[in-house]
Amino acid sequence: QQPVQSPQAVILREGEDAVINCSSSKALYSVHWYRQKHGEAPVFLMILLKGGEQKGHEKISASFNEKKQQSSLYLTASQLSYSGTYFCGTEMRGTSYGKLTFGQGTILTVHP
């Protein structure tokens, strides 16, 4: 079942912060986050494998609440290059290793 992402779209000015949420109705094994620019393949951001895990690099980080079956992606001090569509991909317990179901996406637009 497709995870639900919120919000559907975010508009920011450079330097502002944003949070994108991803919720699943099923128990999760892992959550993957990707960013996709128009006409290109998705680019891997990070994967969270354990409940309570938090990861980050530079100004993009994420958390995974296994109990609540949800994950959040945090973008701080946004840059123009952050613009794109963000997808969470969830890997559910009991499914094929590496089989992801993607959320509907969150369109992030960063203005100067």
Contacts with another protein by CB under 8 A lie at 2, 30, 32, 39-42, 44, 47, 49, 87, 89, 91, 96-105
Shortest distance (Å) from residue 94 CB to another protein: 14
Toward another protein, which CB reaches closer, 96 or 112?
96
Spell 38-56 as b/e; 16+ CB within 10 A means b: eeeebeebbbbeeeebeee
Give the span between the Cα atoms of 20 and 10, in whole angstroms: 9
Toward another protein, which CB reaches closer, 69 or 89?
89
Per DSSP, the three-state class of 103 is coil
**Residue 30: which of 102, 97, 92, 96 has the closest Cα?**
92
**Residue 104: which of 84, 87, 83 has the closest Cα?**
87
Toward another protein, which CB reaches closer, 16 or 53?
53
Toward another protein, which CB reaches closer, 72 or 105?
105
Shortest distance (Å) from residue 64 CB to another protein: 12
Shortest distance (Å) from residue 15 CB to another protein: 28
